[in-house]
Structure 1
């Protein structure tokens, strides 16, 4: 088994594999802020390029405005000028696209690498609810309680159709599919509540498939986690006695 884990870790560096360290201890590279910066940079790039091309187009309109020249008699460009006006704009666009794509790929690798020590919760999606199961057996519906200051890993599947677990505040979204295990992780830093919604059309009540992430202070979460685990254990014991 250790050898198999090493092979899987080498072949799939972004995939969480039990028993394999996924990040340096104590380090959490939160991708949420990185997505925001990348989006802002894209807006700046698009704005600058748009203004430059608008200025060039306006200059062309003024420079080559009709001044008594007969229709159908446009000014002639040299071969070098024609090639330059075609190649330079294309190069500017492509260079910017490749630059942003490279930054996005680096950020994606961070997003797919789960930090060590993350709280792992199982998510079973179903029409039309989010069903969370904690390591101690506690189960919640449409309400994910997590501690502040600790990364959270969701291992997800679906009981029926494809759903997409989307937490806008943490900039994370991933499909959950029947017959497959997918995952996402996020880093809640401060106590508070955050909306969860389904971003993949999943039937008649898709728009009502919503929940929330409740980020709690570590001590408060520990108390809730212990009580919820005891309640789940008692319910399981009672169910076993009835059987």
Structure 2
């Protein structure tokens, strides 16, 4: 590999890195669950693909240049310093391009995960041994059952009455700690009508395994009717 070809290849790889990084930040992902799942699949595909390529190259070199007799000595030409440098730098560039691409997508998802939409409805959540209390803006309170309208962003303000709990919605790939004296938050937007499990993923005592609830995603008109039927008379208190 001469000097000119080396710098051409290095330049192409650098452009690829920058392009992949930029595309990772530019793509909007409205469904966070789909975004995390897609990122996980891409990581597995990348790891598998790169592993297969490097394994194939390693096996090829081991077979091609293996010693065929006990007294055989190698006759391969020594690499020039530039060629040796290229064999090191080009694989590093490939790994960097892949890592930066995945990191950029991860940062994009993380920013969306922490930036709550302006039109989100806000519900207060208090964990306790061993359940979850939900308080709606209209003054409604429920235990271990959270009702939300389909397609509406929902912000959950999380805290704890006693020990540390961890609020986890497996179907939405959402989890955050609920800590006494501190308010954390997460948000989600349910895309379809149905029910989803809520559980605690921080060991919190002998009945930790029983600390679960459910989210009921309803059509908006049914949710509004439920609110009207259950809110305290005279408004929120």
**What's the TM-score once normalised by structure 2's chain length?**
0.77
Say if 2:67 and 2:73, in contact at 8 Å, map to a contact too: no
Match among 133, 136, 149 for residue 135 of structure 2 = 133
Following superposition, the deviation at residue 178 of structure 1 comes to: 1.5
Following superposition, the deviation at residue 140 of structure 1 comes to: 1.0
Secondary structure of the residue aligned to 1:215 is: strand
4+ runs of 1 displaced by more than 6 Å?
71-76, 231-234
Secondary structure of the residue aligned to 1:183 is: strand
Following superposition, the deviation at residue 161 of structure 1 comes to: 2.1
Residues 62 and 187 of structure 1: CA distance in aligned 2, closer, same or farther (over 3 Å): same
Worse-matched range after superposition: 162-171 or 149-158: 162-171
The alignment yields a C-alpha RMSD, in angstroms, of 2.7
- Correspondence 1:60-99 to 2 at 5 A: 60-70=61-71, 77-78=78-79, 79-99=81-101
Say if 1:143 and 1:214, in contact at 8 Å, map to a contact too: yes
Could you give the per-residue CA deviations for residues 51-75 of structure 1, whole angstroms, max 9, x where no partner exists?
A: 1111112112212323114599897
**What's the TM-score once normalised by structure 1's chain length?**
0.76
Could you give the per-residue CA deviations for residues 119-144 of structure 1, whole angstroms, max 9, x where no partner exists?
A: 11000011221111111221111111
Say if 1:138 and 1:231, in contact at 8 Å, map to a contact too: no
Q: Distance in 2 between matches of 1:198 and 1:211?
A: 9
Following superposition, the deviation at residue 109 of structure 1 comes to: 0.9
Following superposition, the deviation at residue 200 of structure 1 comes to: 2.3
Q: Distance in 2 between matches of 1:44 and 1:201?
A: 33
**For residue 239 of structure 1, what is the aligned residue in structure 2?**
none
**For residue 203 of structure 2, what is the aligned residue in structure 1?**
201
Say if 1:121 and 1:152, in contact at 8 Å, map to a contact too: yes
Q: Distance in 2 between matches of 1:119 and 1:74?
A: 73
**For residue 210 of structure 1, what is the aligned residue in structure 2?**
212
Number of aligned positions between the proteins: 208
Q: Distance in 2 between matches of 1:232 and 1:126?
A: 28
